[in-house]
Structure 1
């Protein structure tokens, strides 16, 4: 018999507020929960909360901090723990999104080398995604960011410039 995960229910309620457009209320709820669960709480809770809290940040450096917290917590989540929340989950499937978010954060902050590093790591895990709307959305976002980063590729000098 599984027990109800009250913390996850609270996180999901905050996510619902976020999706409904009430960013301030979602941020307050996430902050309350984070204060209860960090730094030693369930890494699955910390990963999910930090992943969503990052999207609510106004400052790209704050968003990066939350995305790094999500990635750090994911390293301690087991497949068994993820499946206790949803039987279809595997933690490897979190990594494309986590690294994509970090790549986007670093790109916004002007750190193109770090953006490329995390984009490469996102690509390494794309095979963990299902061929569904979510997986297709992540793959498309990876391609879009790759295109933007390619446009910023330094070009070799032409013979006229040498």
Structure 2
């Protein structure tokens, strides 16, 4: 994601600060801050805020069922985000580019929960949306993760992937 937003957004800045805190190893504090922001945003708040917050918050849970709940919220919110809203936040972003990561995370959650049919459905959706990824390091990272999760699904492997985002090493965009 390019560094300069189109216009200041204090909520997105607060989400970013909490994510940074989580990535630096302060998982509980980051989770607490994001949950407070969620309460302030509300379930009918700005879909971009809800999508971003839920997507990152899911990464702060080791339990795949808890992560799944937040990843479902992120996908639901993404479906309500307009391209105009994304462009208002950052001219270089497109909502279509969110979907590969959102579906990847859901596929991984379902796989870890042994729900392989649902995992397959979401990994196929991630692959379908992968052409919307940028041709950069982030896009390459996600394409690799899609391949890893697809392979794990085919093996019926429920172990957490070493490269997966999470409290021990957050790397999710």
Counterpart in 2 of 1:96?
Answer: 100
Unaligned runs of 5+ in 2: 1-5, 157-173
| TM-score, normalisation: structure 1 | 0.90
1:109-154 deviation line (CA, Å, top 9, x unaligned): 00000000000000010010011000001100111111122224xx
Higher relative contact order, chain-length normalized (CA < 8 Å, sep 6+): 2
Q: Distance in 2 between matches of 1:38 and 1:63?
A: 19
Cα distance between partner residues in 2 of 1:61 and 1:45: 22
- Provide the rounded CA distance (Å) in 2 between the counterparts of 1:150 and 1:80: 38
Supply the distance in 1 between the matched residues of 2:44 and 2:97 (Cα, whole angstroms): 23
Give the TM-score normalised by the residue count of structure 2.
Answer: 0.84
Q: Is the 8 A contact 2:97 2:133 kept in 1?
A: yes
Q: What per-residue deviation string (whole Å, max 9, x for no partner) do you get for residues 42-89 of structure 1?
A: 000000000000011132111000000000000000111111221111
Higher mean alpha-carbon deviation, 142-151 vs 112-121, is at 142-151
Greater shift, 48-57 or 141-150, is seen at: 141-150
Alignment-derived partner of residue 17 in structure 1: 21
- 1:39 is aligned to 43
Gaps of 5+ in 1: 153-162
Aligned length, in residue pairs: 152
Deviating above 3 A after TM superposition, structure 1's stretches of 4 or more consecutive aligned residues are: none
Q: How is 1:7-156 mapped onto 2 (pairs within 5 angstroms)?
A: 7-152=11-156
CA distance in 1, matches of 2:108, 2:7: 37
Task: State the superposition RMSD in angstroms.
Answer: 1.4
Q: Higher Cα Rg: structure 1 or 2?
A: 1
